[in-house]
A = this chain, B = another copy of it.
Amino acid sequence: MDRRQFLRTSIAGVGALASLSLARRSTKAAATQGKTEGKVMLKLCSQDGRIPGKSLKEKVDNLLKWGGVGLEFGGMDVNRAKQLKADLTGTGVGVAALCFGYFSLIDPDEAKRKQAVEAVKRALDAAAEIGSTGVIVVPAFNNHPQLPYEEGRKVLVDLCPAISEHAKKVQSRILFEPLNKGEARFFNRLEQAAGVCRDAKAEGICMMGDFYHMAKEEKDDEAAFIAADGFLHHVHLASRARNLPGQDDRSFVAGFRGLKKIGYQDYCSLECGVKGDPMVEIPKSFAWMKQQWEEAVV
């Protein structure tokens, strides 16, 4: 099964995923194929904690029943990654991003920044081991010590080549996550993170978007995703009030149109609360999103 076929079928054998080149260039090529062949698909996924189930197997069964094809996990080490990879092999469920979060990459203290680079490398090792699409990285939440914006940005861009080198070596990538101003003042809009990826000129440096943060920060979801073209490898799904998509007034049509236009090939993953019974509401939300995806005509 080649990468194109893999993307077409959306059935993510973990072994197959781990063997893929995750470099940006190849995804760019796949994206172009997607645009040409109209094979861009909505690959629904969820953070594992969101899916009901007493065991991973129960979660996998529920997810597959509802049309999901991937799971996102939190931070982990290589040993845990090996175990989870074994548990998921053959289930048909792929591993999306690992939601690590904060690494002190723009700390005023240079020693802390160096420690952060090493921690990112270990996270990349785990992400590569489990065959995930990358490591979610937040350079600073509002409550973390951090350099002023311009200085922090410069320091971050300068650290990227070392991170990227390791990412290439293990075949993984990092995914910067823009957050709303209430959580992080560092970057808020997708084009800001894309600017860092662009300036870093390092193919393991990529990014993601989150419909919840985007509702607060972006004027135009479609334009925001287009601004991230070439760097976007993960998407978080949540409504305006951070519940399940479809549980309030947040529309996904413009954003999905943007994803189709850039030939997005990766997962769209629930990171949200639920109003009501998850066993009822999650499948309802998945069905609603498939409808929104159909309405996103390009």
Q: Main SS of chain A's interface residues?
A: loop
Q: Which of B216, B219, B241 contacts A180 (CB 8 A)?
A: B216
How many chain copies?
Answer: 2
B interface footprint on A180-193 (CB within 8 Å = 1, 0 otherwise):
11100000100000
**With an 8 A cutoff between CB atoms, is A220 at the interface?**
yes
Cα A245 to Cα B133 in complex, Å, equals: 38
Cα A251 to Cα B248 in complex, Å, equals: 8
Q: Chain A interface (Cβ within 8 Å of chain B)?
A: 180-182, 188, 215-216, 218-220, 240-242, 248-251, 253-254
* A–B complex contacts, Cβ < 8 Å, 7 sampled: A180-B181, A181-B182, A215-B240, A219-B242, A240-B240, A248-B251, A249-B250
Complex contacts, A215 vs chain B, CB 8 Å: 215-216, 240
Q: Is the CB of A216 within 8 A of B219?
A: no
Nearest first, the 5 A-B pairs at minimum CB distance are: A249-B251, A219-B241, A216-B216, A181-B182, A181-B181
Complex contacts, A248 vs chain B, CB 8 Å: 251, 254
Cα A219 to Cα B243 in complex, Å, equals: 10
Cα A100 to Cα B177 in complex, Å, equals: 37
